[in-house]
Amino acid sequence: MDGTVQAPFAGVASRAARLPAELRATLLTPALLIDLDAVRRNVARVLALLGGAPERWRPHLKTTKCPAVWAVLVEQGVRHFKVATTRELEVLLTWLEDRGVAGDVLVAQGLGPPAARRCAQLARAHPRQQVSVMVEDLEQLPWVEEPLGLFVDLDPGMGRTGRALAERARTLELLRAAGLRLRGLHCYEGHLHGPFPGRAAALEACFGELLALLADCAAGDIAVGEVVSSGTPALHHVARRAPLARAPGAPRHRLSAGTVVLHDLRSEQENPELGLEPAALVLARVVSAPRAGRCTVDAGSKALAAEAGEPIAAVLGRPELVAATCSEEHLPLDAPPGAPAPGLGELLELVPRHVCPTVNLHERALLLEERGLRWVEIAARAHDWGCAP
The binding site for ligand PLP (CB under 6 A) comprises 60, 63, 82, 108, 188, 190, 231-233, 256-260
If the CB atoms of residues 140 and 259 are measured against ligand PLP, the closer one turns out to be 259
Peptide bond into 197 cis (omega under 30): yes
Residue number with CB closer to ligand PLP (171 or 267) = 267
Using CB positions, name the residue nearest to ligand PLP.
Answer: 231
Q: How far is the CB of 230 from ligand PLP (least distance, A)?
A: 8
Closest CA to 183 of 159, 156, 147, 216: 147
Smaller CB distance to ligand PLP: residue 286 or 359? 359
CB of 145 to ligand PLP, least distance (A): 22
Distance CA 158, CA 133 (A): 19
CB of 379 to ligand PLP, least distance (A): 20
- H and E: helices and strands count for the chain: 10, 17
Task: Give how far Cα 318 sits from Cα of 14, 201, 309, Å.
Answer: 10, 37, 20
Count Cβ neighbours within 10 Å for each residue of 262-301 and write b for 16 or more, e otherwise.
bbbbbbbebbeebebbbbbbbbbbbbeeeeebbbbbbbbb
We find the least distance from the C-beta atom of residue 228 to ligand PLP, in angstroms, to be 8
Amino acid at 30: P
Minimum distance from CB of 231 to ligand PLP (Å)? 2
Residue with Cβ nearer ligand PLP (151 or 300): 151
d(CA 261, CA 264) in angstroms, rounded, equals: 10
Q: Provide the CA 381 distance to its chain's centre, in angstroms.
A: 13
Q: Which is nearer to ligand PLP, 76 or 325 (CB)?
A: 76
Which C-beta is closer to ligand PLP: that of 152 or that of 333? 152
Least distance to ligand PLP, CB of residue 36, Å: 19
Q: What share of the chain is helix, strand, coil (3-state, %, to 5)?
A: 35, 20, 40
